[in-house]
Amino acid sequence: MGRDVELIFDKGAPGRRGSSLPAMDVPKADDFPEELRRGAPPRLPEVSELEAVRHFTRLSRLNFGVDSHFYPLGSCTMKYNPKFHEKIASLYGFAALHPLLPQLRRGGALTQGALAVIYETERLLSAILGFEQFTMQPLAGAHGELTGVMLIAAYHKDRGDKDRKVMLIPDAAHGTNPASAAMAGFDTKIVPTDNDGNVDLEVLKSLLGPETAGIMLTCPNTLGLFDPNTKEVCALVKEAGGLSYCDGANLNAIIGRVRPGDLGFDVMHVNLHKTFSTPHGGGGPGAGPVGVAEHLVPFLPISRVVKRQDGTYTLQYNYPKSIGYIAPFYGNFAVILRAYAYLLTLGRKGLVRVGENAVLNANYIRARLAGKYEVPYDRFCTHECVISASKQAKQDVHALDIAKALIDRGFHPPTMYFPLIVKEALMIEPTETESKEELDEFINAMLEIAETAETDQDALKNAPVTTPVSRLDETLAARKPRVAE
Amino acid sequence: MKRYTKDHEWVELEGDIAVVGISEHAAGELGDITFVELPAVGNDVILGDPIAVVESVKAASDVYAPISGTVKEIHSELEEDPGIINTSSEGDGWICKLDNIDIAEFEDLMDKKAYDEFLKED
C-alpha cells in the first residue's frame, strides 16, 4: 500500500497534539463505576494539525467525482449538479429549519416557505409527468419503488381483488424492481425481451390473467431503448385488471417529450438525484417521489402538503385509505429543494433540452464506438447506450479490463455486466452536461483501448496502474467480508 | 447421465433421487461465485420454481427447479465455500437433491449433446 492510503492512525507520534491545552484545574472524576471504565485509553490519532490537514486533503484529491471527472456510469445519470442549488439549500431560512417546527403551534405560519417548496415541486412533477399527485416522501429510488408497489397492493386490496399476487417484470428492468415487488408481498414473473429490445408482447399476453397485480416497466429500459409498444403494454395490463408501474430512473431521456401518465402508467417513481440534478453517489442522500393517477390518490402516504383556499399551506394527515407513514417527516427536504431550484432555473424549454442533449450525446458515443465494439441492439438509443466487449473477449480482454483501463485514462468506468441480458455489457450514460470535447476524449480512449486489446492484452489486464491500489480482490471481499474492523 | 435446462441447470439421477446444480457454462458466465442461498429441506417444488440463488461478483441469479419434487438434501458446504461451484459446477458443486420426482419431466430435458447445440445457438 502506498503512502496515499495510510490510515491516520499510522501517522504522527505518541504524544503529538494538534493543540496545547492548559493543565486540568478541576478534580478528576474517579467515582465512575469500575465496570463502565475502559481498560486502556482509546487509540486516537496523535498528529499535528498540519498532518491532519495534509492527510485529509490528500484523500480528497484521490476522490473521483463528477466535479473532477467524466462519470458515464449507466443508469445512474451522473450529471453535473449546479452549485447554485447548493447556495439555495444553504440559505439560513431553509438550512436552519427544524423538521418539527411545522407541527408545533403556530409553526405552520413560520414554515410557509418550506411547505410551499414541497407543494410546488409536487405540482410541477405532476404536470411534467402527467399524474394527478405525487408524494414527496420516499427517500431513494428503490424506496419509491416499494412505495409504488405498496400503493398497487393497497388498490387491489381495497377492491377486494385478493388473487392479484403476480407482478410482471421484464428482464430489461432495473434489478431493484423484483426486490421491491417481493418486499411488498408479490410473486414476480419475468417477461422476456424480444430481438429488437422491446417487451415480448406475445409472452406478455400469455402471462396476463386474474392473478396479475401489475407490471413494473423501466422506461426507457436498461438497454437504453424506448419501447415503442409502451402504450400497448399498459393497455394490455389494464385490460387484464392490473396496474402499470413506471420505473423512472431513466427519465432523463424522455423528460418534457412524453408524459408517462399519458402512456397509461398508473404509478411512477422519479429519482430527484438523477434526472433532477441533486448530488448522489456518495455526494448526498436521494429522493424518489412517486406519482399516481387519480384512482391511486386515496392510498398515498401521509403527511401531505395541501394548499388552503386562502393560499397558505398546511400538512394533512387524515386520509383513511392511506398506506400510512413510509418515512419520517416530509422526505429529504433539502434534496426536494435543490430539485425545485433546478426546475425553476431550467423552465419548460430548458427541461426539454435536457433530454434532447442527453440522447444526442449517447447516440454520438454509440455511433462512434460501433465499429470497434459490438452494439447488440444497434438502433437509435435514448440517454444511454449499451455496448458489448464480446469482440475483445475473444482476445481474453473483458468488460472488467476495459473498465479498469478507463480509470488510468481519467474516466469513471461505465456500468459493467448490466443489463444481464447482454454479455460483456458496458452501459454508457454521458448525460447532457458533457461537452463534445469531453465525449471525444472518452471515445478516443475507448478506441485506443480496443486497439490495445488486439496488441497488448497484458497492458489492460494489469490496469489500473495510476491508482494507489490496483485490482482489489472483489471475490474475497464478497465471500469473506470483514465489516467489523 | 445429466440432463440440462435452457436456464442452465443440470439434473442427474441417483436412483430415485435427482441431483441438481448449475452448468459449467452458467458458472463460467457468472464468474466467481460469492454466495449461495439454499432451499429448505422438505420444501415441495414444481418444475420452474426458483429453488436457490447464486450470487457472483457480477450478478445474482435464481436457480430454477429443473424437475418437480421434494428437497431431500442440500449442499450446505456451499454456504461456507461457494467457490466449489466454480471449481466443479457439474460435480462437487451440486446444490440440492430432490426426491418424489417425476421421471417423465427428466426425460423431457436436453441431454448433453442437445444442450451443447443450444449453447451454440444462444
Domain definitions of chain B by residue range? 3-121
Residue with cell 409504488: A148
Compute the distance between CA of residue B78 and CA of residue A115 in angstroms, rounded to an integer: 53
What is the number of CB-based contacts under 8 A between chain A and chain B?
Answer: 23
* CA nearest to A400 within chain B: B58
Find the CATH number of the domain harbouring A373: 3.90.1150.10
Interface contact flag, B57 A420, Cβ < 8 Å: no
User: With bands split at pLDDT 50, 70 and 90, how would you rate the model's confidence at A2?
Assistant: low
| Mean pLDDT to the nearest integer, A277-295 | 89
Q: What angle do CA A273, A278, A284 make, to 5 degrees?
A: 80
Compute the distance between CA of residue A385 and CA of residue A373 in angstroms, rounded to an integer: 12
Residue with cell 494507489: A468
If asked whether residues A179 and A156 sit together in one domain, one would say yes
In a domain, A334, yes or no: yes
- Give how many domains chain A has, as a whole number: 3
If asked whether residues A335 and A370 sit together in one domain, one would say no
What's the domain range around A286? 84-345
Q: What is the DSSP letter of A199?
A: B
- Mean of the per-residue pLDDT values of chain B: 94
Instruction: Say if residues A12 and A53 touch (Cβ distance below 8 Å).
Output: no
In a domain, A67, yes or no: no
**Residues of chain A that touch chain B, judged by Cβ-Cβ distance less than 8 Å:** 175, 416-418, 420, 423, 474-475, 478-479
- Mean of the per-residue pLDDT values of chain A: 94
In a domain, A40, yes or no: yes
Closest by CA position to B57, among listed B78, B36, B37, B33: B33
Amino acid A283: pLDDT: 60
pLDDT tens across A151-176, in order? 999 999 999 999 999 999 999 999 89
pLDDT tens across B32-84, in order? 999 999 999 999 999 999 999 999 988 888 999 999 999 999 999 999 999 99
Residue A27 or residue A297, greater confidence: A297
Give the orientation angle of helix A141-158 with respect to helix A176-183, to 10 degrees.
Answer: 40
Q: Is the pLDDT of residue A321 over 60?
A: yes
Interface contact flag, B59 A420, Cβ < 8 Å: yes
Compute the distance between CA of residue A44 and CA of residue A39 in angstroms, rounded to an integer: 15
C-alpha to C-alpha distances, A359 to A81, A446, B99, nearest whole angstrom: 19, 19, 54
Amino acid B14: pLDDT: 94
In a domain, A479, yes or no: no
If asked whether residues A107 and A189 sit together in one domain, one would say yes
Compute the distance between CA of residue A268 and CA of residue A216 in angstroms, rounded to an integer: 9
State phi, psi for A244 to the nearest 5 degrees: -110, 130
C-alpha cell at A146: 416499494
pLDDT tens across A383-420, in order? 999 999 999 999 999 999 999 999 999 999 999 998 98
Q: Is the pLDDT of residue A51 over 90?
A: yes
Strand ranges of the sheet holding A415-416, from the earlier edge strand across to the other edge: A385-388, A425-428, A415-416
Residue with cell 489486464: A461
Q: Looking at A314, A345, A376, which one is the last position of a domain?
A: A345
If asked whether residues A331 and A391 sit together in one domain, one would say no
Amino acid A443: pLDDT: 98
* CA nearest to B34 within chain A: A479
Question: Which residues from B are below 8 Å from A479, CB to CB?
Answer: 34-35, 82-83
CATH 2.40.50.100 for the B3-121 domain, yes or no: yes
If asked whether residues A55 and A122 sit together in one domain, one would say no
Q: Is the pLDDT of residue A1 over 50?
A: no
pTM above 0.90, yes or no: no
Give the closest of B29, B57, B59 to A474, CB-based.
Answer: B57
In a domain, A198, yes or no: yes
- How far is C-alpha B36 from the chain's CA centre? 12
Distance from CA of B10 to the nearest CA of A (A): 21
Question: Which residues from B are below 8 Å from A422, CB to CB?
Answer: none
Q: Is the pLDDT of residue A289 over 80?
A: yes
Give the closest of A420, A423, A475 to B57, CB-based.
Answer: A475
Closest by CA position to A330, among listed A101, A17, A5: A101
Q: B54 Cβ partners below 8 Å, 6+ apart?
A: B22, B30, B33, B35, B36, B37, B60, B61, B63, B82, B85
Q: What angle do CA A196, A198, A204 make, to 5 degrees?
A: 125
| Mean pLDDT to the nearest integer, A321-326 | 98
If asked whether residues A142 and A41 sit together in one domain, one would say no
If asked whether residues A201 and A246 sit together in one domain, one would say yes
C-alpha cell at B24: 459449467
Find the CATH number of the domain harbouring A209: 3.40.640.10
Closest by CA position to A157, among listed A385, A323, A31, A363: A323
- For an interface test with A, give the residue of B58, B79, B81 to mutate (most A CBs within 10 A): B58
pLDDT tens across A203-222, in order? 999 999 999 999 999 999 99
In a domain, A378, yes or no: yes
ipTM of predicted assembly, 2 dp = 0.75
If asked whether residues A162 and A56 sit together in one domain, one would say no
Give the closest of A175, A420, A479 to B34, CB-based.
Answer: A479
Distance from CA of A478 to the nearest CA of B (A): 6
Residue percentage of chain A with pLDDT more than 90: 86
If asked whether residues A272 and A216 sit together in one domain, one would say yes
Amino acid B121: pLDDT: 84
Amino acid A3: pLDDT: 54
Rg (C-alpha) for chain A, rounded Å, is 26
| Mean pLDDT to the nearest integer, A258-282 | 94
| Mean pLDDT to the nearest integer, A342-360 | 96
pLDDT tens across A410-429, in order? 999 999 998 988 999 999 99
Interface contact flag, A478 B57, Cβ < 8 Å: yes
Distance from CA of B38 to the nearest CA of A (A): 16
Q: What is the DSSP letter of B40?
A: P
Interface contact flag, A417 B59, Cβ < 8 Å: yes
If asked whether residues A176 and A322 sit together in one domain, one would say yes
The SS3 assignment for A441 reads helix
Q: Is the pLDDT of residue A60 over 80?
A: yes
In a domain, A323, yes or no: yes
If asked whether residues A179 and A283 sit together in one domain, one would say yes
User: With bands split at pLDDT 50, 70 and 90, how would you rate the model's confidence at A282?
Assistant: low
If asked whether residues A298 and A209 sit together in one domain, one would say yes
C-alpha cell at A8: 491516520
Question: Which residues from A are below 8 Å from B36, CB to CB?
Answer: none
Q: A195 Cβ partners below 8 Å, 6+ apart?
A: none
In a domain, A483, yes or no: no
Verify cis geometry, omega within 30 degrees of 0, for the bond prior to A419: yes
pLDDT tens across A65-95, in order? 899 999 999 999 999 999 999 999 999 999 9
